Structure 1
């Protein structure tokens, strides 16, 4: 009789665990299949073009990405081609290095592409005078996890093709995007 109680106890413990596993699996399946709103096309993932900077469509609209397709950001505390992100800041927000020879034009980029020399002597890519960064929290192309973060003493925003920070980016396919005054 003792064996019977033990197996009944084990059976009762397994049943809620199995139900919880099934529910978690269904939730995962549902979330994985809900990438885009009903009836809309999926948002394209930026491609690795090899260009130092290009404008591509993401979930936040058309923004700048680096040569690997990673989202590019600006730091609100930067001023007049001067990066104010150094030391520990650069660990979370690596700067986009400027190539030895700046491109005459970049795909979809309407702002002037340039560079600035950082305090450590390295050259950093700029668009419309804004130093550019990527975010370590974006592990794959198309992610925009750094958008709107207030970190290292300022706001971080994705960048429009003209080089302006996008405070309230529009979803892909929307007609307008709100920009933040450049602060220069």
Structure 2
């Protein structure tokens, strides 16, 4: 399974990078300034209420992360890009603002987290609403509105 994931990861990572990556795909306001990462809650069939970014892309957590710190190394980040922000984070519909946090990672990036979990994308999700990363390797799960991992459908 990991070999197959690695084979699709590189081209998908390049495609994600080409789209801007980061928070809200590198979205900018009309003046060209970076906008804050927006996190919202949407209903997903079979999973319930899950976290998504401002463009509807599913957000995941890694079970090996502890105490809000990322344990996703460079190879991991190639497949599971971190949700980062240069301009803060906004709580959208259904999000508990008290659960949102940001943590500076090594290298200076500021990763957005929710509850106990740093947040990530999966390069295998091609469109908003995709949940192809759910349960992968028994370590990656979508995050619910309550900040807990949703292990259903894995």
Equivalent position to 1:165, from 146, 149, 153: 149
Q: Which residue of 1 aligns with 2:7?
A: none
Equivalent position to 1:107, from 71, 79, 93: 93
Tell me, yes or no, if the aligned pair for 2:39 and 2:89 is still in contact at 8 Å. no
State how 1:5-84 maps to structure 2 within 5 Å. Answer: 52-59=38-45, 60-84=47-71
Secondary structure, in 3 states, of the residue corresponding to 2:82? coil
Q: What's the C-alpha RMSD, in Å, of the aligned pairs?
A: 2.0
Report the CA distance shift for 1:99/1:86 in structure 2 as closer, same or farther (over 3 A): same
**Residue 109 of structure 1, CA deviation:** 1.2
Q: Distance in 2 between matches of 1:84 and 1:101?
A: 22
Q: TM-score, normalized by length of structure 1?
A: 0.59
Moved more, 124-133 or 92-101: 92-101
Count of matched residue positions in the alignment of Structure 1 and Structure 2: 117
Q: Which residue of 1 aligns with 2:103?
A: 116
Secondary structure, in 3 states, of the residue corresponding to 2:139? strand
Which structure has more relative contact order (CA 8 Å, sep 6+)? It is 2
**Residue 62 of structure 1, CA deviation:** 1.1
Unaligned runs of 5+ in 2: 1-34
Q: Distance in 2 between matches of 1:92 and 1:147?
A: 13
| Greater strand content | 2
Unaligned runs of 5+ in 1: 1-49, 170-184
